[in-house]
Amino acid sequence: MIEIEVEAGDWTQGVPQVEGVVTRAAQAAMGDQAGDVVVLLTDDASVRDLNARFRDRDRPTNVLSFPAADSAFPHRGDLVLAFETCRDEAVVQGKTLADHLSHLVVHGVLHLLGRDHEDETEAEAMEAEERTILAGIGVSDPYRFQNDR
């Protein structure tokens, strides 16, 4: 089950049918894995606060992943996404906000499932998995823009 909370109304204006976009991306990333995920769509100020409190980084970021403890199963964890940061990244990268949101949800869910990108090998594997999942839901390669530089 994917539970979505829209705290910042900009999300519903910026992405038509935002809850459907998030659900589709999260379910695709979950694949055949059992579990629940909660996604909070909020603003930069809220994400900045969470990032400062839990990650010692006093700045907003696009997505935060909070994996749940194993004892909380079937809950896999929570994702929190910041509207302004995501919107601005989409513009700079020449993507629709819906596609960028889909990518960040897939990326975040993969973190909740234990994937990481701490070293180059992990990063390449995670990016390949993201590309495959996103292609399955009709979203272009999210790294194309960054690699074309």
pLDDT band for position 149 (50/70/90)?
very low
> What CATH fold (topology level) applies to the domain 2-142?
Collagenase (Catalytic Domain) (3.40.390)
Q: Is the pLDDT of residue 146 over 60?
A: no
Q: Is the pLDDT of residue 78 over 80?
A: yes
User: Is 44 exposed, middle or buried (CB count within 10 Å of its CB: 0-12, 13-18, 19+)?
Assistant: buried
- pLDDT, tens only, 125-144: 999 999 999 999 999 999 88
Residue 18, number of CB atoms within 10 A of its CB: 20
| Domain assignments of the chain as residue spans, ordered by start | 2-142
